[in-house]
Structure 1
Amino acid sequence: MKRFAKLMLIGAMTLPAMAQAQEWGRLLDRGQEVLEQRRGSAATEAPATAAPPPAGVSDRQLSLGLKEALAVGTERAVATLAQPNGFLGDSRVKIEPPGMLGSAVGTLRRVGFQSQVDAFELSMNRAAEQAIGQATPVVLNAIESMTLEDVQRIYQGGDTAATEYFKGQTFTELQQLLRPHIERSMQQTGTTAAWQALTDAATASLPMLAGYTPDLADHVTESALDGLFLLLAEEERKIRRDPLARSTELLQQVFGL
């Protein structure tokens, strides 16, 4: 729309008076084309709604196929995050410093505390990478516990319907399960020590950090789970949309070739 307005303004300022009427008409036509193109683009990008299961697929096959798809997606997402730099190397899931410290990271880097910030971020993300594998059994158990009604509703849902279902079903349980593992990993990676070194060094420059004591284990745990469900949603979307992601015969039967 801004482009359309700019075109009209340029036309008004630069064209001879006798030609302006024709040019206004062309500009209006062009503006309409731009709007229609944007509407068409928005429609193309809208999430796809799943079609009914292919002909001949039984309820049992549908249930097994969807559960297999979700198990495959879970294992892929966890494997991605559990590798070195699985969190740290991906800006979508990288665990940033908590609360007001997160808001001050740019300032701290500029005033000479880059190494302390980097050490703290590294320790948090390494802790998450070490612990995230503990989430797999919980999600797989939730997958196996799905009823046929759950399966049918999820299959017919949006591109991330299953991920949203599992996040609602398992997030609290995963928090409780993962936190002790995160705490142990944080001890191994030196998160608390890195936090102390950063705040001790930076308090003089940012007095607001004095006495700021967030629950680092909660922050890392919740951030790790947010990253897990983000990647699980991505894997689910791939299986629904991309034939190449359907890596078994059963997935191909249920979701199509």
Structure 2
Amino acid sequence: MKTGFFSCLLISLLLTSCETSQQILNSLPTTVGGQTNTTQIAAALKEALTIGTQNSANRLSAVNGFFANAALKILMPPEAQKVESTLRNVGMGSVVDKAVLAMNRGAEEAAKSATPIFVNAIKQMSITDAMGILKGGDFAATNFFKQKTTADLTSAFRPVIAEALKKVDATKYWGDVFSLYNKFSSTPVNTDLSSYVTEKAVAGIFLEVGLEEQKIRKDPAARVTDLLKTVFGSAAAQTK
């Protein structure tokens, strides 16, 4: 089987419907050059996912990776929004702003630990997993990562976030927020800041991974290695 046909096969699997992809897979010979087709496809997919998750983690771990991203910026939890409104109304908005900035800085610091967790999940990915992703929906890879890495990301993020929050006095600001609020309210508010920020940080990582998955599937500019250019590029040219 020629390389061009293999390239066309892979891009077809990524961009066609699940039913069509299954029909293509069922029609393939068992081996190509002594290796199974699925092994070669899995290798290409793992490289794509490695690049995608690294890109996501790098963007979010940069300064303002969370804070300057409107879709990901971590704000006060819903149960504390009344606190925020009250404090701003009495001229204490700067305290709230410091707390919000500190939460986002903690998430950015924690995101630095995401890449090795994703890479480990990719290394352990079976051929069956890879083919399931190829035959799945547009966010099949992202859903795979949610299933395989959420617990590890949460465990890794929480102590980093707790330390980062402490380092930038976020816990102090948080305490200041609720101390001030409690002066004006008979109902005290007690929120686990580290847990809340960790949950939001993990959700943000998966949102970015999902966006990166779409780039790898559909955007030629996102194919930045020779393998990805060969597998995706030549196929795209043949389908025009």
Residue aligning to 2:11: none
C-alpha separation in 1, matches of 2:52 and 2:198: 21
Segments ≥4 residues shifted beyond 6 Å: 53-57
- 1:241 aligns to 2:218 (yes or no): yes
- 1:152 aligns to 2:131 (yes or no): yes
Distance 1:92 1:48, change over 3 A: farther
Instruction: Quote the offset at 1:129 in angstroms.
Output: 0.7
Q: Is the 8 A contact 2:83 2:178 kept in 1?
A: no
Residue aligning to 2:8: none
Larger radius of gyration: 1
- 1:133 aligns to 2:112 (yes or no): yes
Paired residues, what number?
209
- 1:62 aligns to 2:54 (yes or no): no
Matches within 5 A, 1:174-193: 174-193=153-172
TM-score (norm 1): 0.74
Instruction: Quote the offset at 1:217 in angstroms.
Output: 1.1
Instruction: Quote the offset at 1:156 in angstroms.
Output: 1.7
- 1:92 aligns to 2:71 (yes or no): yes
Letter in 2 for 1:226: A
Residues 110-119 or 142-151, more deviating = 110-119
Distance 1:165 1:183, change over 3 A: same
C-alpha separation in 2, matches of 1:58 and 1:250: 15
Which of 91, 112, 118 is residue 91 of structure 2 equivalent to? 112
Structure 1: gaps of 5 or more residues: 1-46
- 1:131-185, Cα deviation, whole Å (9 max, x unpaired): 2111211111001111111101101211111011111111012111221111111
Residue aligning to 1:231: 208
Matches within 5 A, 1:12-51: 49=17
Residue aligning to 2:179: 200
SS at match of 1:203: helix
Instruction: Quote the offset at 1:206 in angstroms.
Output: 4.4
Question: Identity of paired residues, percent?
Answer: 37
Structure 2: gaps of 5 or more residues: 1-14
SS at match of 2:91: coil
C-alpha separation in 2, matches of 1:243 and 1:103: 46
Residue aligning to 2:102: 123
Q: Please, what is the CA RMSD of the aligned residues?
A: 2.4
Distance 1:248 1:119, change over 3 A: same
